[in-house]
Structure 1
Amino acid sequence: MTFTPEVRAALDEGRPVVALESTIITHGMPFPQNVEAARAVEAEVRAHGAVPATIAVMDGRIHIGLSDAALDALGQAQGVMKLSRADLAACLAMGRMGATTVAATMICAALAGIEVFATGGIGGVHRGAETSFDISADLPEFALTAVTVVAAGAKAILDLPKTLEVLETQGVPVIAYGQDAFPAFWSRDSGLRAPLRMDSAAQIAAAQVMRGQLGLPGGQLVANPIPAEAEIPLDEIGPAIETALAEAEAQGIAAKEVTPFLLDRIFALTGGRSLDANIALVLNNARLAAQIAGEIVSLRA
């Protein structure tokens, strides 16, 4: 692994660090907006008392934190591998460039000693999974890797009831922050009740530390609702999601290509509103993750 000096110093000194994924840069939006958004998220983490560590694979090494030059290079690169648990080692062995999904970021963060990770939304059970068996590797990762992940729920393009069922089966704590409802990415309320509710970063941090003390493997999913002023209610964005899903099926889009295709189509169908909401929710998650990381450091002091 290669650490930026800022991240290495923070970890050595026991200061709070928040991991950030890189597929949002390579597979989420075009250059230069992707790099600008990534820098804004890093700035939000710093503004709330933690050090950001954007994670990616470059030149056969896991980079924990990216320099400005590395972030620019990643933002403009073509043919970047989208890495999950299955292909992380292969990417490193081949010396390829790779962007980390939720699962791969959790693995790399844990290897680096980082306990908190902020993202947009997690992957989950795709609609029609009863015939396609398309279930994101993000879900079993929560049962394996002891990282608290702050997300705005699961992406609303997914089958949310089945996603919650799989997380329950895997024994993953799903904690709604500040509300009873499980959020649906662009929308604050999916219509589903979250299994757990916590109202402070301190409670979430204490639960993470307690899991370690009990010897329980795996991490936590913190479902942090998008700010009210930025949300697109489910009844508004629902038709765009249904249209995008129908187009994906008609075009035979499958596997790792499904999510980028759907997000791109929903962006077009909402006139760019979905991207504005996406950026707002990631910044919101970065704030909460920084607070949780700070509370964990206090508990371990």
Structure 2
Amino acid sequence: MTDFHIHYGTEVAEALREGRPVVALESTIVSHGLPRPDNLRVARQIEQAVRDAGAVPATIGMVDGRLVVGLDDAELTRLATVDGVAKLSVRDLAVAAATGADGATTVAATSAVAAAAGIGVFATGGLGGVHREAAQTFDESADLVTLARTPIAVVCAGVKSILDVGATLERLETLGVGVVGYRTRRFPGFFITDGGFDLDWSLDSAEQVADVLVAREQQRVHHGGLIVANPLPTDEQLDPELHDRTLADGLALLERDGVTGKAVTPYLLAHFHSATEGASLAVNVRIILRNADLAARIAVAAAARRADA
């Protein structure tokens, strides 16, 4: 009988057995989110940022139908360099495994697989959310519903600014997903520091976030995900005027070309990369490296809290 179980990289398997801190990382940023050859270099930098902060990176993806938590460098290289890598959300995992596909996991799929593997912290760039014109299209990322039922902390720079940020925050509230700002009371806007909306809660250290995770475990009340919104410093953000102009132009092109569904986000991100002459790519890389560092520090603090309990 074919083995469709989750497979673990050696380093990750040992860390999980020993109760050491592990941080989940997505693979769509490798296969779909960054241009070649930068994607592989940055993927390695992200993993190194986690290691430098004291945790073990677990990049999640699928190779030849094998769902792997903790891709090795050869597997990471494959997803970064071959054509035809599928973009896998939660609903796609079983079909992709049964058909022997190569696949990169989205935020939703990475969250679900990480939680199933016993990993409680995940670093990404920005979440998916409610798309503009969703009242007509019903276009909403699976990230939101998945986080409503998945007990994982996601460190991100808010939701991608190409989305309807206000509607996304409303949906997260309805779905019961916790949102805290890291050293901020304003929800970040991915490329830009301030996404234009207030937050109810702010935490000032990785240790405080770890305390929240431990409290959730000890309360034994069903919780979904916890979003830790980590904004870029203002001197590292994309110029807000350039951002707004590029977004408006991108949305017009989107309508002109009739792009819909899963193609919207990569289309607009590619437009940002082209229109800003690479400035948005540099910002995107800064975002994920900062989030990987913070996620690792949270994982380290949470592991220490559990060891002392």
> TM-score band, normalised by the shorter chain?
over 0.9
Letter in 2 for 1:198: L
Deviations 1:69-112 (A, max 9, x none): 11111101211111112211111121111100000000110111
Please tell me whether the aligned partners of residues 227 and 280 of structure 1 are also in contact (alpha carbons under 8 angstroms). no
Deviations 1:182-231 (A, max 9, x none): 00001111121123211111111111222222222311001000133321
2:199 alignment counterpart: 194
CA drift of 1:27 comes to: 0.5
Deviations 1:30-86 (A, max 9, x none): 222100000000000000000100000112221111111111111012111111122
- The TM-score normalised by the length of structure 2 is 0.95
The answer to whether structure 1 residue 159 and structure 2 residue 164 are counterparts is yes
Instruction: Report if the CA contact (8 A) 1:227-1:284 is conserved.
Output: no
- Measure, in 1, the Cα distance between the counterparts of 2:284 and 2:199: 21
Q: Distance in 2 between matches of 1:126 and 1:86?
A: 19
Q: Secondary structure at the match of 1:86?
A: helix
User: For the Cα contact (< 8 Å) 2:123–2:295, is it kept in 1?
Assistant: yes
Quick one: distance in 2 between partners of 1:235 and 1:171? Answer: 34
Match of 2:137 among 108, 132, 142: 132
Of the candidates 241, 266, 272, which is equivalent to residue 266 of structure 1? 272
Which sits farther off after the overlay, 32-41 or 229-238? 229-238
Q: Tell me which residue corresponds to 1:17.
A: 22
Q: Given that residues 188 and 233 in structure 1 are in contact (C-alpha distance below 8 angstroms), is that contact kept between their aligned partners in structure 2?
A: no
Q: What is the aligned-residue identity percentage? A: 49
- Contact residue 7 and residue 17 of structure 1 kept, 8 A: yes
Look up the match of 1:294. Answer: 300
Contact 2:242 2:276 in 1 (8 A): no
Secondary structure of 1:122 counterpart: coil
Whole-Å Cα distance in 2 between the matches of residues 160 and 82 of structure 1? 23
Match of 2:3 in 1: none
Q: Aligned Cα RMSD in Å?
A: 1.0
**What's the offset of the Cα at 1:119?**
0.3
Match of 1:6 in 2: 11
Q: Which residue number corresponds to residue 126 of structure 2?
A: 121
Show the counterpart of 1:234.
240
Match for residue 35 of structure 1? 40
> Helix, strand or coil for the counterpart of 1:87?
helix
Displacement of 1:12 in angstroms is: 1.0
Distance 1:168 1:197 in 2: 16
User: In structure 2, what is the Cα distance between the partners aligned to 1:195 and 1:83?
Assistant: 33
Structure 2: distance between partners of 1:226 and 1:100 = 24
Alpha-carbon distance, 1:22 to partner: 0.4
Following superposition, which runs of at least 4 residues in structure 1 exceed 3 angstroms of deviation? Answer: none
Say which SS state the counterpart of residue 27 (structure 1) adopts: helix
Which ranges of structure 2 fall in alignment gaps of 5 or more residues?
Answer: 1-5
In structure 2, which of residues 149, 152, 156 is the aligned counterpart of residue 144 of structure 1?
149
> Match for 1:64 among 69, 80, 89?
69
Are the counterparts in 1 of residues 148 and 177 from structure 2 also a CA contact under 8 Å?
Answer: yes
**Aligned partner letter, 2:34:** M
Matched residues, number? 301
Query: Matches of residues 73-222 of structure 1 in structure 2 within 5 Å?
Result: 73-214=78-219, 215-222=221-228
Once the two structures are overlaid, the 10-residue window that deviates more, 28-37 or 132-141, is 28-37
Give the C-alpha shift of residue 234 in structure 1. 3.0
TM-score normalized with structure 1 length? 0.98
Q: Does the aligned pair in 2 maintain the 1:19–1:117 contact within 8 Å?
A: yes
